[in-house]
């Protein structure tokens, strides 16, 4: 039994490893898993393909880890549930491989146009997007059939929290609304970071279980939740 680090009427945070905490969540109890995992592709992400730990073997190792928590996501999700997971172009092969291993198919790749262009190099183009893979359970359905797969949403938040991978609350709210979770439905984020998914869920009248391994980010998430109200740009989407 893992003691909650934080709990209020709608949000519970566990300061724990996702692979320890996910198995404690009841099977078939969750409407959506919305998360932004560490990419853990080691030397590949650092661009050093010549390194011993780089290349395809490195990618396959991380695919094993991804498949392990995808299986847990599959177990906790309802038959009508969905998993939305942030990624970038380098992690797509890992996401695809892990999805096949876990038996949870990727049914869309959402392009998030960050309306901001990062620094370039001589061998690559300047990055301006990230992706969110949608993995759907057999009974999942998006009621509004016209939702496109490219979304524009400013990367910056009104008041940055200090977490290096913080995502915009408004973007996550849009994901939660698209996933058509019923009022009071349960969302899980196994890699909570600064608490963005929990804030977005609570602001929409949903419940959220967040798991985060590092105490400093649990503390940050708890203090964001305790502050309550969202800024106008966090609500807009
Ligand atoms: C990409 S960040 C998430 C950022 C978040 N979306 C936000 O808006 O702040 C991934 C988080 O996963 C946490 N993490 C890494 N490995 C973990 C594990 N095995 N179990 C739980 N959390 C983990 C990291 O500490 C980090 O805060």
Tell which wins on pLDDT, 98 or 231.
98
The whole-number average pLDDT for the span 33-60 is: 69
The whole-number average pLDDT for the span 201-216 is: 97
What's the pTM? 0.94
**Does 194 contact ligand 1 (Cβ within 6 A)?**
yes
Domain 6-235 fold: Rossmann fold (3.40.50)
Whether 52 has a pLDDT exceeding 70, the answer reads: no
Whether 87 has a pLDDT exceeding 90, the answer reads: yes
Which two structure tokens, joined as six digits, stand for 189? 């984020």
pLDDT of 56 reads: 73
pLDDT of 36 reads: 97
Q: How confident is the model at residue 235 (pLDDT cuts 50, 70, 90)?
A: low
Region of 177 (left: φ > 0; alpha: ψ -120 to 50; beta: rest) is: alpha
Q: How confident is the model at residue 57 (pLDDT cuts 50, 70, 90)?
A: confident
The whole-number average pLDDT for the span 169-192 is: 97
69 C-beta neighbours (distance < 10 Å), count: 22
Torsion, Cα of 36, 38, 43, 47 (10° steps): 30
Cα(144) to centroid(ligand 1), Å: 30
**Nearest-CA neighbor of 213 among 190, 234, 232, 184?**
190
Whether 32 has a pLDDT exceeding 90, the answer reads: yes
Question: Among 82-96, 149-163, 222-236, which is the least confidently predicted range?
Answer: 222-236
pLDDT of 43 reads: 46
202 C-beta neighbours (distance < 10 Å), count: 20
Residue showing tokens 């915009």:
168
Identify whether the C-beta of residue 160 lies closer than 8 Å to the C-beta of residue 109: no
Q: Which of 25, 90, 191 has most ligand 1 atoms within 8 Å of its beta carbon, as the pocket-test mutant?
A: 191
Tell which wins on pLDDT, 171 or 56.
171
Minimum CA distance residue for ligand 1 atom 15 = 38
**Does 191 contact ligand 1 (Cβ within 6 A)?**
yes
Which two structure tokens, joined as six digits, stand for 99? 């999805």
Q: Which of 13, 18, 33, 38 has most ligand 1 atoms within 8 Å of its beta carbon, as the pocket-test mutant?
A: 38
The whole-number average pLDDT for the span 207-221 is: 97
Mean pLDDT over the full length of the chain = 90
Q: Domain limits of the chain?
A: 6-235
Q: Summarize pLDDT for 137-178 with one digit per residue, the tens.
A: 999 999 999 999 999 998 866 567 899 999 999 999 999 999
Whether 60 has a pLDDT exceeding 90, the answer reads: no
What phi and psi values does residue 141 have, to the nearest 5 degrees? -145, 140
pLDDT of 232 reads: 56
């Amino acid at each position: 039994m893992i003691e909650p680090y934080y709990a209020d009427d709608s949000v519970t945070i566990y300061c724990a490893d996702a692979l320890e905490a996910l198995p404690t969540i009841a099977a078939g109890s969750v409407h959506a898993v919305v998360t932004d995992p560490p990419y853990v592709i080691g030397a590949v992400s650092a661009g050093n393909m010549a390194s011993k730990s780089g290349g395809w073997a490195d990618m396959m190792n991380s695919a094993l880890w991804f498949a392990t928590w995808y299986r847990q996501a599959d177990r906790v999700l309802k038959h009508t549930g969905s998993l939305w997971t942030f990624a970038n172009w380098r992690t797509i092969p890992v996401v695809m491989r892990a999805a096949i291993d876990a038996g949870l198919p990727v049914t869309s790749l959402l392009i998030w146009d960050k309306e901001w262009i990062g620094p370039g190099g001589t061998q690559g183009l300047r990055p301006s997007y990230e992706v969110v893979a949608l993995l759907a359970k057999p009974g999942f359905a998006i009621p509004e059939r016209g939702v496109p797969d490219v979304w524009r949403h400013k990367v910056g938040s009104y008041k940055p929290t200090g977490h290096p991978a913080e995502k915009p609350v408004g973007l996550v709210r849009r994901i939660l609304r698209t996933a058509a979770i019923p009022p009071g439905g349960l969302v899980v984020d196994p890699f909570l970071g600064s608490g963005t998914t929990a804030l977005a869920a609570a602001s929409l009248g949903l419940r959220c279980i967040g798991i985060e391994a590092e105490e400093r980010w649990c503390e940050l998430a708890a203090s964001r939740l305790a502050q309550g109200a969202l800024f106008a740009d966090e609500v807009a989407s």
